[in-house]
Structure 1
Amino acid sequence: MAYFTPGQLLKRGQYEIIDTLGQGGFGITYLAQDHRRKKQVAIKSLNVSFLKQRYRDKYGNTDSFGEFLAQEQDKFNTEAMVLATFDHPHIVKVYPELFQENGLSCMVMEYVKGKNLEQYLYANGVFSESAGLGIIKGIGEALSYIHSRNYLHRDIKPANILLRESDNKAILIDFGLAREVNFAELMSLTNAKTPVFAPPEQFENRSNFTPALDIYALAATLYVIIAVHEPPFIPLPSPYLNAKIMLDMKMAIEPPQKYNSQISQKVNDAILKGMELDYQNRPQSISEWFRFLGIQSQNNHLKTFTFEVVTTNDKGSIINKRNHSANYFVEDLGNGVKLEMVEIPAGTFYMGSPESEEGRYRYDSESPQHQVTVPSFFVGKYPLTQAQYQAIMGNNPAYFKGNNRPVEYVSWNNAVNFCQKLSQKTGKNYKLPSEAQWEYACRAGTTTPFYFGESITPDLVNCDGNYAYAAAPKGQYRKQTTDVGTFPPNAFGLYDMHGNVWEWCEDDWQENYINAPIDGSALISRSNIKLLRGGSWDNVPDYCRSAYRNSNDLDLVSSPFGFRVVCGGAART
């Protein structure tokens, strides 16, 4: 049952409900007129009737439903804020505004006029193989973008993919099950699945969830849109089956060629590969599955690695561990020396720190906090090592010698010269990160003082352990650099963003963020004083915070000064 009705005004008259576009178990989406923007929009809210019935079924009454609804609203609000940071041509745009109406949270999205794939199948029948692959390519690239930000969609199906009427482009329109996913973390999804498109692991009370979950559902969607000619449009031989039953009974997925002999052997086999009932036998990334399909994608050249991320409390104690995944490519610098460059997805974040953050009480340079939108780029997995610097420059200026230690005693000019020579060697555009790129990459979606969480200890960061941060204990002061990758990475898969060596940025120093760029670009050509970020082995933990800013003359060299490189990015003068 719809909560809002046609003609009803929301948000003090800005929105006027026109109709109900659709509803599922958790949400209802309405078509509305936005009188301020003078355009139609889609407004989504929780499906209160469904949630109340679900609560009644579970507990036998609705006595504490209000508290349960408040918890669901908190999840809804968090999800809305996350979705508003997504920026991809095949993902419906969620506007960065969230409002309450009659106690119910509402998110506002662009209205995409068109038919979803399920509606199309009923009206027109199956797509050709080439048309189906075109749809899957767009949605697959959207999923790759989502996965790179450490989220899963969890409900890919034809009804959640819309063909936009104006250009026939496939748009992913419903993120009703999108939640932040810590890859391989144990979680439960038993109350949130569309059975015929869900892989076996999605039926387990506790199971390992990886991007392979979405790959199964996407492969099942391709199966249906190019092979299944009659309702019900499902990828299984019977609506009474699901993938978990088939796995338990050792049943095989029927080849799509059984239903459409015009499907090529390559695509037939790729669908079955994507729908492997054991998730470990499926491709583990969209780009890997695309290679089975023969789809050319900008990410096909990328490899994938997994890594463990930890979260700390204010005592610096680890309170959570989870596995994440990231894409990267390898640059061959010669003589067996490699440079790993990690893909950082585009996104929006708040740069700087709140005045209440411990350790910044005297650092107005971190104000005002401001929203910055950063295009995607690649950045070094580690600070540049001495072996990498030697391979390009022919010398090693470091004081603390070691091939796998970060290079130091490099000035900003030295670092820029390295980037220029690396660019000449590879034909790519290598440079120092802008300050915004650096902080965005360091935070990796966090808003805490450190990417680890509320505090750090010398067990997690190479810094001056004679000093403590927040309620954390003191610890070892190593008095020198350590091999890169010694300590845990952040959620983007980057190591040593806190401590070890300061890292040069492209920007000129500016005493605060007033009129700072908001597009991820660098502020340059204004002075000879350049930015340094991240802290070092010789600094107190305060200086290693994600938001802390340091500066020095572009010609100065020092044992704590190093750098890492990015590939791509624009500068502003």
Structure 2
Amino acid sequence: MEVVSSGVASLEIPGYQILKKINQGGMSTVYLATQRSMGRQVALKVMSPVLNADPIFSERFQREANIVGQLSHPNIVAIHDIGRYRSLNYIAMDYLPGGSVADALTRGAIEPLEALHITRQIAMALDHASNKGYVHRDLKPENILFREDGSAVLTDFGVARAVARTTRMTSTGMVVGTPHYMSPEQARGAAVDGRADLYSLGVVLYEMLTSAVPYQAEEAVAIAIKHLTDPIPRLPARHSLYQGLIDRFLAKDPDQRYQRGLDVVDAIDQLLAALEGKPPGNATKLNNTSVRVSSLLRALLMTLYGTLCDRLSAAWARWRDKPLHQQNPRAEQQTIMRFQQVLQQNTPSKRRSWRLAMVISAAAVVTLIIWGKNPQWSATTTSRTATESAESVAHSPADTALAIQEDSPATGASANLIQPALREETGEPISASPPITKPGGPTENIADSTPAPASKPKPISAPVSEQAPATFSLLVSVKPDDARIRIMNIVPRYTPGIALEPGRYDIEVSKPGYSTVRRWIEISTADINLAVELERKYFPGRTFQSPLRSGGRGPEMVVISPGSFTMGNNQRPFTSPEHKISINKPYAIGAQEITFNDYDRFAKASGRALPSDENWGRGTRPVVNISWQDAQRYASWLSEESGQKYRLASEAEWEYAARAGTTTPFWWGDGSAKGKANCRRGCASEFNTLFTTSTAPVGNYKANEFGLYDTAGNVGEWVQDCFLGDFTNHRGDARPVQLKNCELRVVRGGSMREPLRNISSDYRTGLSEQASSKEVGFRLVMEL
């Protein structure tokens, strides 16, 4: 039994080792815990003691476990245990370390194909729940979590209910759900079925594509009214291909929506097949529609329509001197290129050749229009090119006069065409003037004008002059001083005190090794001084997991700050003499030993035999029976999968992290080792008895001050160095000792079969790099 402080009182849950708090809400708190009977990590959801007296909340909490217990599906969170202890209700369920869709949205919109895959998986989960007779009623980004392999999982069935029956928790007219994701029938308090969940899923898809919810207002009631009455919102032009999905998802009338989750799966599968240039597959049910070339043409025309609307809106905003938020131009370009790729991948057909020609022609037209209309792409047009183009265009005096008298809002190349034509007609001298750059727009050349000779007819009654608009300076002060500063929506490069016209500017400050800062600022009537301090991407104590190319994430790593310490122990063989070590740069080391889950994935991907677990269990137990060479191969594979540099730690790096700033043999000082390590004698470990000895799941015991688990006992750990009998020839830095024809490699930390004295931070021994042992595993370092 473990006792964990919860702030007000201590929490005791028999059978569970509680490691840390994961999340806390108004109704419950979720802890990361180890289920002792199974040796696996779980998310332990404990109901708030304050709510235990309320039978309604208790019923809701218990019902969640009962419902999920009946729903066995890979995309629905699994329940492992449910219980009550000392008036505390708790549920043990899958631990999902990949974060939520809400977490992903904090970094911006999700890539469209990834959003479709997430939607597809949750649609299958909803279909399964609906077939079992349950409606979720509170589907939102916070309730969609990710496993280590990246698959999406639906959670939090706390307000779910059976369609065919009611409970005292709900009554007619009672509104349940989250306003931004609530279906119209939920907003009215009417009866709901699985189609209400599909509406909420459509809202989530819209948010994943745009990073904004479709209906926004200050009050919950106003949001609900918009769900009931406002038209279905349009996606940005670059996402027009997915508008059909959104229209079906967000139909006000449930009969007009997708009727079940498998209908959503069919629609997404057909769309993905068309995008990949594959023939449409068989529908999962009765839906046998497919995305044909004509459908792509319609989507392309929608993209063209949306783009033209965006450009007209932008021109109107510029004419009214109101800055408009600029979308990423590359996104539209990628949409067009994707259409072209689809067409190139399709098998040619004489019967459809005219359709392909139409699509390709339309794609070319859209590309030309976007290229010509996008301010950032056309900003490199020089005044000389514009002037030459103007000379090839015939302008009548009447047309020129009309353009001037109406104060045309033409910008970019169009403005450059009008002015040289006017000078040619009126005979006005052309003088060079410095270019003036408008935010988000191209460079214009403004020339002085003089009246034409009296003998020549003039199309206008008075000379026209244009005054340069007022400008204000922008000064960005950054830390560190050598960070890169860019203004993303104009052509000129940033220089300290750059003069800019009133408008909105997209400022980016970046430096390798630091988190990029990007923000919009508005210049109106005064100079702007902006101070930006970048945060180190890998600050000391930060934990992270690298995403892998094949899906999922790598082992959890902890960032260790540079420092110095005394390595070794003069009172021990093999560890003398004590010597000073300086570590000059930060590094990340595994918070835990590499587990069977981690290693088995590598073994299966590389076709290697799975190492024996000695019948202790796999999963989150540390991998054993692997050689030093096997550990090196795993590190190389992980580096390729993540794009980062992973390797075994050097002895100095390992001992510095294991000591965690202490000078005593054990990181916990001279106190008892109980609850801190798994060893043979002196640790009082439940995994070591008189007749049996086994490893413990990683993270089962307390972490040291640096956040590292199991640096003492459990399994010994391979490190990079070649084993020498002492430290006589060791250097004063963190580099590993390497010798030619090295036969023995260093093992640090001791194992579960060692006595307490042999699991200290300075303990070391040697083992052949080709040997494997049930007492030896490893953890990795990632270079920063």
Question: If the length of structure 2 is used for normalisation, what is the TM-score?
Answer: 0.32
More helix by share: 2
Higher percent of residues as strand: 1
Larger radius of gyration between Structure 1 and Structure 2: 2
Q: TM-score, normalised by structure 1?
A: 0.43
Q: Which has the higher contact order (CA 8 A, sep 6+)?
A: 1
